[in-house]
Amino acid sequence: MKKLLLILICIISICCSGNGAQPLNLSDQKMNNSQNTAQLVFGGGCFWCVESCFNMLKGVEAAISGYAGGHVANPSYEEVCTGTTGHAEVVQITYNPDIISYEQLMEVFFFLHDPTQLNRQGNDIGTQYRSVIFYQDKNEKQKAETAIQVSENSGKWPGKYVTELAPLEKFWPAEAYHQGYYSANPNQPYCSAVVGPKIQKFKKYFGEKGWLKADQIN
């Protein structure tokens, strides 16, 4: 569904961007401010929805759409959409753990997608839409394993979780037009039919918990 709606955008983007995504070193992306910051990278289906929701949370400094987990350098969106590069659509989160915890971010992550669906989310089918958490060290891997177990035990999603755990080797930011895509294109057919309803559900639930930034409360 998403591929068919975006084929023209993909072609235009490739013509304009030339070499596709550019590598991003996680350490280079940390905010140059006095706040304590940490990062994590995960994928839960289409990154437009995931990115948009995480940017609404208190304590999240930035959520960036991109690609990770593949074997091809400098991937373009069109290449990733073929499912042959091994990449997943992911979001890199830079956050302040003094304001929002890793565990809270994981709660949001498992709220936004169905971790029991293998290589798909709804009508978006392919390994690029897989449920995956990329860890940067042993401690983060253990935290991710615990988060998966806690969510699975909660019974929110009936069935066995298929969320993949993998070491983060490189994060490639997606093309510029993907960043903040939903905010810029809320009436695009896929956004209005799929992304919009999920965001409204997210805002209602986490707004009531007091987790949203003030300008996101309505």
Classify residue 182 as exposed, middle or buried by CB count within 10 Å of its CB (0-12, 13-18, 19+): buried
For residue 18, is pLDDT > 90? no
- The string of pLDDT tens digits covering residues 120-157 is 999 999 999 999 999 999 999 999 999 999 999 999 99
Residues sharing a CB contact under 8 Å with residue 148, sequence separation 6 or more, in sequence order: 115, 133, 161, 163, 165
Over 60: is that where the pLDDT of 3 sits?
A: no
Q: 73-100 pLDDT, tens per residue?
A: 999 999 999 999 999 999 999 999 999 9
Residues carrying an active site annotation: 46
Across residues 27-37, what is the average pLDDT? Answer: 55
Please name each of the domains of the chain with its CATH number: 2-211 (3.30.1060.10)
pLDDT of residue 78: 97
What pLDDT is stored for residue 20 in this prediction? Answer: 55
Q: What is the mean pLDDT of the chain?
A: 89
Average pLDDT over residues 14-25: 46
| The 3-state secondary structure of the chain, one letter per residue | CHHHHHHHHHHHHHHHHCCCCCCECHHHHCCCCCCCCEEEEEEECCHHHHHHHHCCECCEEEEEEEEECCCCCCCCHHHHHCCCCCCEEEEEEEECCCCCCHHHHHHHHHHHCCCCCCCEECCEECHHHCEEEEECCHHHHHHHHHHHHHHHHHCCCCCCCCCEEEECCCEEECCHHHCCHHHHCCCCHHHHHHHHHHHHHHHHHHHHCCCECHHHCC
For residues 180-192, average pLDDT: 97
Going by pLDDT thresholds of 50, 70 and 90, the confidence category of residue 217 is confident
What confidence tens digit (pLDDT) does each residue in 102-126 have?
999 999 999 999 999 999 999 999 9
Residues of the chain above pLDDT 90, percent? 83
Its pTM stands at: 0.85
CA gap 209, 199 in Å, rounded: 15
Cα separation of the two ends of the chain: 30
